[in-house]
């Protein structure tokens, strides 16, 4: 088949999926879908189109066995709007093509991210990179909200004043905070998108980037439903066991104690959703 047209994807082209307070994800374009992955894989075997069941089985087989190149035949282009601190994490993913709005050419808009109360939490005690699962109390949340909002307002006033004084836009912007929204076009193939999603859908990723990753995944599912189903089956909802964890699991299956202690035991039980003893 020359050109993949997926009705579910066509229906959402250009539609804005809101994320956080001012952000969005829009699918601008896509190239290929599940059928392209299958065709690309079958071109190597020289065999033609098979039934839906066989195609689905093939996609699961490819993903399960790290046959990654057929997934690279599918490309998605997004228009994204997100706070700069999220964009800084985003651009660490080097295997995409990106064009961002320039604060040297354009006057930046007065749009800043303000977390909702539920997401204002204290520093986590056991995760140096993360926030606690418990929201801070309402009084503290209100105070944080006020502090962030008044700083954002002040920063933008200074920026506007510098612009009005005729100062170059590239200089006027230098004190704008990381909560300011930016926009970019982002194009990535499905293999690398899955790598991005594996990292950024994970519970260890910051809530704000996770919110965008979840929306991206929802959109990707419209373009490649079978590949996304296989990704959930073999990647996000699967676990990787170390050598000693595999041995511990074998002991458990034989009805013996795991033979792990302390943090190693805790990690193992968490991976298997066994909870604490
Ligand atoms: C929860 C979390 C916490 C993080 N914390 C930090 C932090 O504290 N500090 C920090 O600096 N970063 C941090 N990062 C960023 C992280 O280290 C990676 O830079 C980011 O996740 C991108 O991953 P990647 O390089 O695999 O992805 P991509 O850049 O998309 O690359 C995909 C894959 O391509 C290959 N590849 C790409 N470019 C090259 C290359 N030049 N040479 C060799 N192989 C290449 C690698 O196999 C790579 O895995 C964090 C990421 C996560 C998810």
Residue 232 in this model has a pLDDT that exceeds 80: yes
Of 87, 37, 49, 78, whose CA–CA distance to 230 is shortest? 37
What does the buried/exposed string (b/e) look like for 27-61 if buried means 16 or more CB atoms within 10 Å of the residue's CB? Answer: beebbbbbbbbbbbbbeeeeeeeeeeeebbebbbe
Query: For residue 31, how far is its CA from the centre of ligand 1 (angstroms)?
Result: 25
Counting Cβ atoms within 10 Å, is residue 106 exposed (0-12), middle (13-18) or buried (19+)? exposed
CA-proximal residue: ligand 1, atom 18 (nearest): 92
C-alpha distances (whole Å) from 2 to each of 9, 33, 36, 41, 164 are 17, 12, 9, 15, 54
From atom 42 of ligand 1, which residue's Cα is the shortest distance away?
A: 94
Residue 68 CA to ligand 1 centre (angstroms): 18
Look at ligand 1, atom 43, and give the residue with the nearest C-alpha. 94
| 252 membership: H or E segment, kind and range | helix 243-253
pLDDT winner (highest mean) among 44-48, 118-122, 163-167: 163-167
Tokens encoding 22? 């001012």
Indicate which atom in ligand 1 lies nearest the CA of residue 199: 53
Both structure tokens of 120? 């204002």
Q: Is the pLDDT at 96 greater than 90, yes or no?
A: yes
- Residue 273: per-residue pLDDT: 84
Q: What residues are annotated to the active site? A: 200
pTM reported for the whole predicted model: 0.93
What is the number of the ligand 1 atom nearest to the C-alpha of 94?
A: 29
Confidence of residue 44 (pLDDT cuts 50, 70, 90): low
Asked whether 212 and 19 are in contact (CB, 8 A), the reply is yes
- Which pLDDT score, from 0 to 100, does residue 46 have? 60
Q: What's the confidence (pLDDT) of residue 60?
A: 96
Residue 47 has pLDDT above 70, yes or no: no
Distance 89 CA to ligand 1 centre (A): 10
- Once rounded to an integer, what is the mean pLDDT over residues 73-77? 98
pLDDT (average), residues 117-146: 83
At residue 131, the pLDDT reads: 77
pLDDT above 80 (res 200): yes
1 has pLDDT over 70 = no
Protein residues whose CB sits closer than 6 Å to any atom of ligand 1:
92-95, 192, 195, 199, 204-205
Closest Cα to atom 34, ligand 1: which residue?
Answer: 95
Pair 19, 119: CB distance under 8 Å: no
* Ligand 1 centroid, distance to 193 Cα (angstroms): 13
Confidence of residue 277 (pLDDT cuts 50, 70, 90): low
Nearest residue by C-alpha to atom 28 in ligand 1: 93
Q: Which residue bears the tokens 């000693």?
A: 244
| 185 C-alpha to ligand 1 centroid (Å) | 20
């Amino acid at each position: 088949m020359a050109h993949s047209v997926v009705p579910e994807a066509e229906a959402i082209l250009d539609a804005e999926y809101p994320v956080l307070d001012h952000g969005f994800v829009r699918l601008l374009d896509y190239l290929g879908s599940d059928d392209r992955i299958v065709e690309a894989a079958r071109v190597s075997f020289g065999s033609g189109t098979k039934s839906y069941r066989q195609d689905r089985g093939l996609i699961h087989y490819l993903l399960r066995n790290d046959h990654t190149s057929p997934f690279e035949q599918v490309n998605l282009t997004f228009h994204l709007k997100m706070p700069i601190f999220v964009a800084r994490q985003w651009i660490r993913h080097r295997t995409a093509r990106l064009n961002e709005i320039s604060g040297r050419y354009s006057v930046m808009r007065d749009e800043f991210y303000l977390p909702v109360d539920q997401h204002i939490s204290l520093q986590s005690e056991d995760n140096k990179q993360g926030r606690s699962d418990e929201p801070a109390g309402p009084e503290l949340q209100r105070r944080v909200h006020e502090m962030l909002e008044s700083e954002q307002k002040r920063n933008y006033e200074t920026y506007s004043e510098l612009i009005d004084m005729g100062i170059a836009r590239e200089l006027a912007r230098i004190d704008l905070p990381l909560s300011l929204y930016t926009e970019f076009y982002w194009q990535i193939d499905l293999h690398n998108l899955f790598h991005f999603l594996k990292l950024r859908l994970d519970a260890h990723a910051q809530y704000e980037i996770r919110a965008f990753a979840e929306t991206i995944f929802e959109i990707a599912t419209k373009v490649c439903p079978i590949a996304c189903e296989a990704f959930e089956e073999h990647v996000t909802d699967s676990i990787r066991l170390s050598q000693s964890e595999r041995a511990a699991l074998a002991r458990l299956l034989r009805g013996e104690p795991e033979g792990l202690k302390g943090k190693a035991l805790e990690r193992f039980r968490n991976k298997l959703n066994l909870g604490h003893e």
